[in-house]
Each structure stands twice: as C-alpha cells, then as structure tokens.
Chain A
Amino acid sequence: MSAAFPRRRFPEGTTVEDLRSYMEPFVRQLGYRFNDDEEFVAEVLGSEIEILDSAGDVYCPCRVRSGNPKEDLKIVCPCIPFYADQFAKLQKCWCGLFVRTDVEDGSELHGVIEVPEGPADVPVALADEFPPGTLRTVRLGKRDVALARVGDEFFALGNVCRHAFGPLGQGFLDGHTAVCPWHGWRYDVRDGTTDHPGADVATYPTSVRDGYVFITV
C-alpha cells in the first residue's frame, strides 16, 4: 500500500557514499556539515543503510519509529529542519552525524545531548543563495517562519497570515511589505504590522555571519 504523502526513496544497492553525496549539499544549505570523525560517519550511515533495507527509508538510527508515517517523517535523516532550534543549541544533530559549520572539531561533541537553556541563533539559509526580493518559508523546529530579504537586510516574521492562515512565506514582496498569497493581506516585514487592527504577526531578530543567515528564537 502506498503512503499518501511524499517520501524520498533510494534504490536498492544504495551505498554510504551515495547517501553522503546526496545529503551533503542539503545540510550545507542549513548550516551543517558531516562530523569530522570519518569512522563515526561511516558507522551512522552504515546503520542507515540497514534501516533503509528493513524499513524503507533512512530513519535516524538513534530514535525509535512510532509506526505513524506522518510522525516518523520527522526522524528521516537529515532531520535538521524539524529540530532546527534544538540542534542549533547542541551544535549538532541528535546522532552527531552532522555538526554546525561553525564547529571546529565535531568529534568533540560526541554524546552531548543536553540542550542548553536560552535563545539560539538558528542557521536557516546561505545568504548568497537568497537574493534581494526573496520571500520564503523556513522550518524552525516546530514552527514555520517567513524569511524575507530586502536589499542587504533580512527579516523574519510569523509565517501564518492572521486573516485565513495563509502561508506568508509563499507570498511575494513589495518593498518592505510581505503580501499573503491567499487574499493579499499585507505585513511590514520590519515589525510584523498590518493595517488590519489586532492582526500583527511576530517578528524575530536575524543576523548574517560567515555567509549564513541566522534567526534568533
């Protein structure tokens, strides 16, 4: 029976190297790279290949599947967007297969899993690949955020339009205004305000370092 939602499938005979080259460009966009401990990376990816053969997808080797396919999508590797806020604080994904690009030696992070308290700067995009005039939805753990670039400035705001819950990040930019794709409600990306009373959306601080755009949550 086929599932009613999209799933990436890998062909039979998929190797550790195949997974590596498939995942590397994706996680780089998110501000992560493979752990420096090559042996460890080979071990984790080897486990994922075994899981792929037995369970049909590259589920996390360190977490248990619930049996609910929609829930389990959140532990298909790489799972970074679904835990972006937690992992940003840990500086690595749960397994440590991926570490943040600003970590010097990822092998030193082995085993650390207690999430530090306080706000986190979450890397969400490569600045160079997010040209001026772009508006897009980025996943930040449990919430979606609309990220906009106007000139050289980045703005992050709540993704859900307060009118009919349309996805603001899928709308378009008109100067500093994000326009909802559903009915054209307009929000100022600088402060989340709209001309409909009581319908403003939250905004989040952003920063740019080492070529990455960060949202603070």
Chain B
Amino acid sequence: MQVRLFALSTCPYCRMAKRFLDDGSVQYELTEVDSLDGQEKDDAIAEVREISGGASFPVIVVGDEVIVGFNKKRIKELLDL
C-alpha cells in the first residue's frame, strides 16, 4: 500500500508522525512542503488542499484514505500496525 506524508518542518505533530512511521518500519514518501521553493512548493500546497480540503498538517495518505492530523489510532488501523 502506498503511503505518503505531507509535512511541515516546523510542526511537532509532523515530527511525531514521522517517528511513528519510522518506528513501525513503514515505507513512505515524504513531502516537506515548507522546505520546497517556488513552483514546487505551490504545487505541493495545491495538492494538499485538494486531498485534505485545507492547509493544515500533517496529511497522511494511505492508499485511498486521507488522514488529516496525527491520528495514531487511525494510522494504526489502516496500516495494521
């Protein structure tokens, strides 16, 4: 199952989400939105808005499911951790 994490480098919940996925040895694609520049950054923000309906982080995508925020219980369920 493809897992993506959209994060901000400044956001404590994003750091928690990273640690949690790393500890569970989950492979995921990380997009650190505020570390991008110019068009890449605009594109990433547009994608987050489309996926999550907002610009609040972290946004975790597991297959077709979207989790906004570090909802540990929901991540565990979806990834069978």
Closest to B68 in A: A113
- Contact A61 B70, beta carbon cutoff 8 Å: no
Contacts of B14 in A (CB 8 A): 62
Given known pairs A66-B55, A95-B13, the reply for A61 and B8 (CB within 8 Å) is: yes
In the bound assembly, the distance between CA atoms of A40 and B12 in angstroms comes to: 8
Contact of A102 with B by CB under 8 A: no
In the bound assembly, the distance between CA atoms of A40 and B16 in angstroms comes to: 11
Chain B residue total in the interface (Cβ 8 A) = 20
Contact of A111 with B by CB under 8 A: yes
Contact of A50 with B by CB under 8 A: yes
Kindly identify which residue among B33, B68, B70 contacts A64, using a CB–CB cutoff of 8 Å: B33
Q: Which of A105-129 contact B (CB under 8 A)?
A: 110-114
Contacts of B55 in A (CB 8 A): 63-64, 66
Contacts of B33 in A (CB 8 A): 64
Instruction: Please count the residue pairs between chain A and chain B whose beta carbons lie under 8 angstroms apart in the complex.
Output: 56
Contact of A24 with B by CB under 8 A: no
Contact of B11 with A by CB under 8 A: yes
- Contact A62 B71, beta carbon cutoff 8 Å: no
- B-side residues, CB < 8 A to A, are 8, 10-16, 33-34, 45, 48, 55-57, 68-72
A-B contact pairs, 17 of them (CB 8 A): A47-B10, A50-B10, A61-B8, A61-B12, A62-B12, A62-B14, A63-B8, A63-B57, A64-B57, A95-B11, A95-B12, A110-B16, A111-B70, A111-B71, A113-B56, A113-B68, A114-B68
- A-side residues, CB < 8 A to B, are 40, 43-44, 47, 50-51, 61-64, 66, 94-96, 110-114
